[in-house]
Each structure stands twice: as structure tokens, then as C-alpha cells.
């Protein structure tokens, strides 16, 4: 991928699918469809809540959280009061749940957020929280199925464990053949360049901490072979 694709500023590497409705890197599609068919055969309706996300969408998420238009949560999921928070604490709160624009793995079209549509009951609102994927959660069957099968289709969970950076996200899958080289190619200088010319809220705080953000929130993931 080129720098524009890596930072979500281009869509030349992704293709939009209708079933399942998502947008993915063209190299991911065959493996995803094969995994979805295998899950379906085992009674799991592997569905996609989020796939490719461009820079502007990620920027909107960040800026709306910064302004308080979208809720902020601490690391255990408790609602925070934006007006009482220092800007540096807001950066930490956002990064625990949302990537900095230009640094989202969703920019690559290799990463997806998944749930089991077959497990949904009438009126249930999807939350994408760890408790849904726990052994007693609504998506426990999906989570167990992924543990047994996702690696043979090339997928892994980059946020499986709590490393004090991004909160664990058992719903977040990454296609290793695309995402591993993408992460290796996304440099700190590339990320800095795109953020310097952006309209990101809290830009001084973000740029001042960018080496830490890059190391702690982008590089510190669970490797594919750790699944």
C-alpha cells in the first residue's frame, strides 16, 4: 500500500461488497467469505459491524469525542465528564477506544469488527463491548468459534490482551497477510505529516505525544501467532 492508502486518504485498495455489506482490501475478500461460510456451517452468522474506515471518518470520530459530542469512557467503560478533564486526559481516553486518524487499522481494509447475527434477539442493540464476547456473553459461541478457526483463514485479534494501550477488543479481527506489512510500512514520520496538515482537535497535544502514541497504541499489539 502507498502512503495515502495506509493513512486512509485513498480507497484505491478496497472493494465494496454487498453481501456481507462491507468494504475491504481486495486481498481479504476470499478469505473472509470462506471463513463466513465455515462459520455458517457451524450455526454462526458471522456478520460485520465495521470494515474499512477512511481518514475523514476517523477524524470525525476523534473530533466529536474531543468536543464531547460523542461520549468518552474510561478503561473500564465508565462514562467520563469531558468538561472536567484536562486535554491530556482526553487524548488518553479517546485512544483507549479509538485510533488517532491516519493510524487506524481500519484504514487498510484488513480489519473488521464482527458479531453473530444469529445470536441477536429482538430489540437487542449491538454494543461491541468485551462482556458480549465473554464466556457468558451473547456472542460467546462466536468468540469460541473464532478461537478455534480464525487462524486457518489468516485472521487474528490484534487487541486480544490488555497492554495498557488500546482496550481489549475481542470483536476486532485483522487479516495478517495484509495488516502485518501495512503496519511495518506506516512510519512515524508518515503519520506526523498527515496529522500536521489535518484539522484534528487537540493537535498540539497529539503531535507532542506522537512518538508515544505510535509506539504504545499502534505498534503494541498481539502478534498473529499469539492467538
% of the chain surpassing 70 pLDDT? 99
- Using the CB atoms, write b or e for 71-86: b if 16+ within 10 Å: ebbeeeeeeeebeeee
Q: What are phi and psi of 16, to 5 degrees?
A: -90, 130
Residue 8 near residue 58, CB atoms below 8 Å:
yes
Grid cell, residue 176, equals: 495478517
Which candidate, 2, 34, 20, places its Cα nearest to that of 108? Answer: 2
Q: What is the mean pLDDT of the chain?
A: 95
pLDDT digits (tens, 9 = 90+) for 214-227: 999 999 999 897 54
Q: What are phi and psi of 116, to 5 degrees?
A: -105, 105
pTM: 0.93
**All domains in the chain, ordered by first residue:** 1-53+104-186 (3.30.1380.10), 64-103+188-219 (no CATH)
Residue 136: the pLDDT is 96
Residue 205 near residue 137, CB atoms below 8 Å:
no
Q: What are phi and psi of 25, to 5 degrees?
A: -60, 140
Q: What CA–CA distance (Å, rounded) separates 184 from 205?
A: 25
pLDDT digits (tens, 9 = 90+) for 66-89: 999 999 988 877 889 998 999 999
Residue 163: the pLDDT is 85
The total number of residues shown for the chain amounts to 227
- Using the CB atoms, write b or e for 162-187: b if 16+ within 10 Å: eeebbbbbbbbbbbbebbbebbeebe
Q: What are phi and psi of 70, to 5 degrees?
A: -110, 145
Q: Would you tell me how many other CB atoms lie within 10 Å of the CB of residue 18?
A: 6
Q: What CA–CA distance (Å, rounded) separates 5 from 184?
A: 14
Residue 165: the pLDDT is 87
**Average pLDDT rounded to a whole number, residues 167-195:** 97
Euclidean distance between the first and final Cα of the chain, in Å?
25
Grid cell, residue 158, equals: 490484534
Residue 103 near residue 218, CB atoms below 8 Å:
yes
Amino acid at each position: 500500500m502507498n502512503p495515502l492508502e495506509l493513512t486512509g486518504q485513498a480507497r484505491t485498495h478496497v472493494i465494496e461488497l454487498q453481501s456481507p455489506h462491507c468494504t475491504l482490501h481486495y486481498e481479504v475478500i476470499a478469505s473472509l467469505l470462506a471463513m463466513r461460510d465455515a462459520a455458517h456451517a457451524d450455526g454462526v452468522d458471522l456478520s460485520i459491524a465495521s470494515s474499512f474506515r477512511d481518514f475523514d471518518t476517523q477524524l470525525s470520530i476523534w473530533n466529536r469525542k474531543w468536543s464531547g459530542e460523542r461520549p468518552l469512557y474510561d478503561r473500564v467503560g465508565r462514562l467520563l465528564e469531558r468538561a472536567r478533564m484536562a486535554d491530556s486526559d482526553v487524548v488518553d481516553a479517546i485512544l483507549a477506544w479509538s485510533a488517532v486518524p491516519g493510524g487506524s487499522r481500519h484504514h487498510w481494509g484488513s480489519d473488521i469488527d464482527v458479531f453473530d447475527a444469529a445470536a441477536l434477539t429482538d430489540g437487542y442493540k449491538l454494543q461491541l463491548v468485551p462482556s458480549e464476547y465473554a464466556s457468558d456473553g451473547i456472542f460467546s459461541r462466536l468468540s469460541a468459534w473464532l478461537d478455534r478457526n480464525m487462524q486457518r483463514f489468516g485472521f487474528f485479534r490484534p487487541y486480544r490482551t490488555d497492554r495498557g494501550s488500546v482496550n481489549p477488543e475481542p470483536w476486532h479481527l485483522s487479516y495478517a497477510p495484509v495488516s502485518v506489512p501495512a503496519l511495518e510500512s506506516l512510519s512515524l514520520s508518515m503519520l506526523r505529516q498527515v496529522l500536521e496538515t489535518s484539522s484534528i482537535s487537540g493537535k498540539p497535544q497529539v503531535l507532542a505525544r506522537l512518538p508515544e502514541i505510535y509506539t504504545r497504541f499502534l505498534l503494541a499489539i498481539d502478534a498473529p501467532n499469539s492467538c
